Amino acid sequence: MFELYGSGDPVTLKLVICLEELSLPYRFNSLDLQKLEHWAPAHRALAPQGAVPVLVDGTRVMDDAAIALLYLADSHPEANLLPAGPADHYAVQASIDVLDAALLASVNLIGWHRQQPAEARAAFTAALNAVPGRQTAAGWSAVWRDAESDRLQRAAEKLDGGVARIEAALGRGPWLVGGGPTAADISAFALVETLPALLPDSIDPGSTPRTWAWLERMRARPAVRRALTSAARGGAPRYAPPQ
């Protein structure tokens, strides 16, 4: 029995879809990120820096979800979610890394802004800044303190670049890598599946026909259907607030 600690956010959805695809038993433990439950002592015992989601397999605690997805795929080679051939194996990992970099922060930022009114966001940020022992950004992101409107604008542009990469990859075949669905499809689907509702211009049958058809193909999979109606998703998507 796996324990999954998460919310209805895109990254939690990746692991839920993967667990469902592999028919693995799991218990979902819901965290309300807006209430900072991921920074409460109980969760920090698993993930000292408030990472969400966390996957626990017996005594193995995994707070890096992108890698935990590969862990699940590696543990069940028969499902072919991570192809054995070195070049396709690389392509799956590269697709996950590139699309995470292009899409994840942007989707969460835009979704969170849409979901939370300005006062709630300000209250959240104040509470987050008061969390003891929280590491703040020390890289370049700490230098670029753009105005909020600039950040949203840049996020939307970045997001278009990510969708363009998906559309281009699907020009080579029905799935992102190789001849069948892989962890790359699961990862990318979880990031963009709410975009048609969130930003209708970003994915539509006219401008991104291949991505549109691929979303339909993914949604038709029984495991994906189960994931989208699971307790983890709770019907409505949620987005992760800033870390």
Partner 1 sequence: MTQDPAAAGRPAVYTWEPNSNSGKPLFVLNEKGAAGDAIGFDYHYVSLPDFEQHAPEFLAINPDGTVPALVHGGRVFTESTPMCEYIDAAFAGASLVPSDAYSLYRMRSRCRRTDKAAEALSVIGWHLFLGPMVRSKPPEEMARLIARIPTKERQISWQTASQATFSEEQLTNARARVGGYVKELEAELARSPWLAGDAFSLADILTFANFYALPGGYPEFATESFAPHVLDWLRRIYARPATAKTFGMARSIARRAFDIARGLGSPMAEVAHV
Answer yes or no whether residue 161 interacts with partner 1 by CB under 8 A. Answer: yes
CB of 34 to partner 1, least distance (A): 25
CB of 139 to partner 1, least distance (A): 3
Count of alpha carbons within 13 Å of 35, Cβ hemisphere only? 7
Considering only CA atoms, which of 162, 167, 165, 182 is closest in space to residue 214?
Answer: 167
Residues in region 38-97 near partner 1 by CB under 8 A: 57, 60, 62, 64, 66-68, 70-71, 74-75, 83-90, 93-94, 97
Composition of the chain by helix, strand, coil, percent to 5: 55, 5, 35
DSSP 134: P
Number of chain residues interacting with partner 1 (CB under 8 A): 38
CB of 236 to partner 1, least distance (A): 30
Give the residue ranges of DSSP H helices in 40-182: 41-44, 65-75, 86-99, 105-115, 118-129, 148-169
CB of 120 to partner 1, least distance (A): 28
Residues in region 162-201 near partner 1 by CB under 8 A: 178-179
Residues in region 90-149 near partner 1 by CB under 8 A: 90, 93-94, 97-98, 135-136, 138-144
| SS3 at position 193 | coil
How far from chain centre, in Å, is Cα 27?
19
CB of 75 to partner 1, least distance (A): 5
Instruction: Compute φ and ψ for 26, nearest 5 degrees.
Output: -150, 155
- Which positions lie near partner 1, rule CB under 8 A? 57, 60, 62, 64, 66-68, 70-71, 74-75, 83-90, 93-94, 97-98, 135-136, 138-144, 154, 157-158, 161, 178-179
